[in-house]
A and B are shown apart, each in its own frame.
Chain A
Amino acid sequence: MGAYHFNWFLAWQSFPRFYWGLALGLELAALSLLIGSVIGMAGAFGRSFGPTWLRLAVMSYVEFIRNVPLLLLIYFAFYGLPKIGITMFDNVWSFVVALSVYSGAYLTEVFRAGVNSVPVGYTEAAKAVGLMPWQRVRLIILPVTFRIILPSLSNTFISLFKDTALASAVAVPELTYAAEWLNVNTFRTIEAWTFAAVMYLFAGYGIAFILRRIERRYAVIR
């Protein structure tokens, strides 16, 4: 067994591939957070105010997603959906579907907890001012909820970003896939994975830093 010869230059030559992989991962995470938030808001609303069948449906959805591995959802969306006639998604979009459905379940719980923790006094003050029901939701309850759950949203975004590594399983050219490519084509195994790990680290740290600043900017509820 010979000694492993490091060749960082080869890894560095693939930097554009890594860079675009990272950018794609961030886009996938952001898109899934956005779609997941819409699902989460609807889910929280249905779970709290909907008829019994809807409550049960939302609860089953949340429990199902919580107890099924994400990779399985990704495979189902990529290999399974076309088999039942849904052929509109390529590998990238099938991954977005899977990750959105996945984050939607967690965000349902996040939004539900958030709405429930809006003090009833704000709603009553909004009533006393004479606001219509939908105005109370739009002007008071949702903005306050958003501020309450902002830290949870940041954490969800960071963990979704790390979950985008799983997209490599369906050949989405994100950061992990770039590392895999380098490994397979140049056998620079350690360089490839180290390079990817360092990029994940810096990106994750950077995102956390920015999100903390945004949280502080909006932390007007003490």
Chain B
Amino acid sequence: MAPILKISDLHKHFGPLEVLRGISLDVDPGQVVALVGASGSGKTTLLRCVNALEDYHKGSISLGDEQIGYQELNGRRVRLPESRVARQRADLGMVFQSYNLFPHMTVLDNVALGLVYVQKKSRAEAERIALSWIERVGLAEKVKSYPFQLSGGQQQRVAIARAVAMQPKVMLFDEVTSALDPELIGEVLAVMQNLARGGQTMLVVSHEMMFVREVAHRVVFMDGGVIVEQGPPEEVLVRPRTERLQTFLTRFRGVLR
């Protein structure tokens, strides 16, 4: 099976600081790939590069057979015009740590927005689709609420609905439970688990090791801007081969045993 997402030899630096030093990663359709690692290891930057929210300096990212964010022109790598990038982003869904729901729109409008303005669906059709996703994340009674009237967990579920309603080829999750109170984490993870079971391709940055172990098909451990180790969760999380991963996992010992 051909990978849906293909990252090859990705390099990025912020000034003198090298954050990504040659990342190559393939994600197959229907696969859930979890990126784990200490903060500063480059996981979030990698995810943001995939959605062209960050520039990078070398390498390539392809969704299907289309390169994201750049094109080759006379042997040089050139950034695509913003309108082309915008169209590409429509095939990728992203959920942020800080939810980022549009504050001036109701839950329904947040979810329907992309369907109307990007996918050019009629208002009625868009609202029907939006409503069905809002129901699936368990917030049917909140459709007319504004983001500030919701808890963090509820906002994050709306943010997930907003992204998946577009039926993206790949969903990107950037530490989506890190800003949540502990008692609200479960409801968000449950929604993600349902998506994974439904066959949604997902690239997930997470510190929730129980969730990663249960849901991910593959765990990728990053450290210092490189992939140190990867494989099925039962191997990577339970029998780490490298010392760096062993050290990283000691802090999750209570959770994983």
Contact = CB atoms under 8 A, between A and B. Distances in A.
A133 B80 CA distance: 13
A121 B100 contact: yes
Interface in A108-122: 119, 121-122
Interface residues of A, number: 23
B104 A221 contact: yes
A130 interface: yes
Nearest to A126: B102
Contacts of A222: 148
Nearest to A144: B104
B180 to A, nearest CB: 16
B117 to A, nearest CB: 6
Interface size class of B (residues with CB under 8 A): 20 to 34
Contacts of B82: 132-133
B104 A220 contact: yes
A130 B166 contact: yes
Interface of B: 51-53, 82-83, 86-87, 89-94, 96, 98, 100-104, 113-114, 117-118, 146-148, 159, 162-163, 166
A129 interface: yes
Contacts of B90: 129-130
Contacts of A147: 103-104
B113 A139 contact: yes
A124 interface: yes
A143 interface: yes
Contacts of B102: 122, 125-126, 140, 144
A128 B163 contact: yes
B148 A220 contact: yes
Interface string A189-222: 0000000000000000000000000000010111
A128 B148 contact: no
